[in-house]
Copies of this chain bind each other. A is one copy, B any other.
Amino acid sequence: MDRAATDVNRPTLIKKQTLHDQVADSVRDLIIEGYLEPGTRIDETALVEQLGVSRTPFREALRTLAAEGLVIIRPSKGAVVRKLSSQDVLSMLEVLAEIERLAGKLTIKRASQAELDELLALHDEMMAYYADRDRLPYYKLNQKFHSRLAELSGNDTLREVQSNIQARLKRIRFIGNRHEDSWSGAVADHEQMAIAIREKDGEKLGDVLAGHLMATWDRVKNTF
């Protein structure tokens, strides 16, 4: 789960990464980016061939992804990409809302002015892309904004849980922003966040974040 942070802390030239980690990363991306659709069986033989590794590291990687909740391993019957029910998504958003509420409160309490400015810079950049209706970079910056907020909370467990849930939801949240009107609603939320950050009002920031996530639910719940 903690992969991102540890990689970052390692000098980039010496990329000591074991094969099953690389495989886990690859397959994770395949799932998150939708190349492996939810519900589809993971064809060990085919993917092993495609990735050019043997079954051993591949299966170890699968176990990791299973623990992360991205795949389900059915004993003797192969692994499938986890399919999220509307219940699943609701439960994740409920938890994520409280996680980010806490992130907001802690970040205001603990982050330095420079760090808060960094968040605001991300926000401004997002808004610029919104002005151009440039969806993909907006989406990416949005992810980054929330991740960075979690980091600045100074709470590693929070960051880990947030990152895990975010990964599971990634595809679905992208869907949620497809309609212009819901997009503008999300943008309005983000403006409120920026205000709360400038005011250094942790409670308010937390409330806006939580509300923002539950609004995501309203946007996606009909797509099931």
Residues of A within 8 A of B (CB): 1-2, 16-18, 20-21, 56, 59-61, 63-64, 66-69, 75-76, 87-88, 91-92, 94-95, 98-99, 101-102, 106, 154-158, 160-161, 165
Residues of the B chain whose Cβ atoms lie less than 8 Å from the Cβ of A63: 20, 60-61, 63-64, 67
Q: Are B20 and A92 in contact (CB under 8 A)?
A: no
* A155 in contact with B94 given A18-B75, A63-B20, A75-B17 (CB within 8 Å): yes
Chain A contact surface mostly: helix
Query: A67, A87, A156 — which one has the most chain B CB atoms within 10 A of its CB?
Result: A67
Residues of the B chain whose Cβ atoms lie less than 8 Å from the Cβ of A67: 1, 63-64, 67-68
B18, B64, B92: the one contacting A76 at CB < 8 Å is: B18
Q: Are B161 and A91 in contact (CB under 8 A)?
A: no
Per the bound structure, the CA–CA distance linking A17 and B99 in Å amounts to 33
With A91-B157, A161-B161 already in contact, 15 other A-B pairs whose C-beta atoms are closer than 8 Å: A1-B67, A2-B69, A17-B75, A56-B56, A61-B63, A63-B67, A64-B64, A64-B67, A87-B156, A91-B154, A92-B157, A94-B155, A94-B158, A98-B99, A98-B101
Per the bound structure, the CA–CA distance linking A165 and B95 in Å amounts to 14
Select from chain B the residue with minimum beta-carbon distance to A60: B63
Per the bound structure, the CA–CA distance linking A63 and B61 in Å amounts to 8
Per the bound structure, the CA–CA distance linking A50 and B92 in Å amounts to 39
Residues of the B chain whose Cβ atoms lie less than 8 Å from the Cβ of A60: 59-60, 63
Q: Are B155 and A95 in contact (CB under 8 A)?
A: yes
Query: A87, A94, A165 — which one has the most chain B CB atoms within 10 A of its CB?
Result: A94
Query: A2, A17, A157 — which one has the most chain B CB atoms within 10 A of its CB?
Result: A157
Per the bound structure, the CA–CA distance linking A99 and B91 in Å amounts to 12
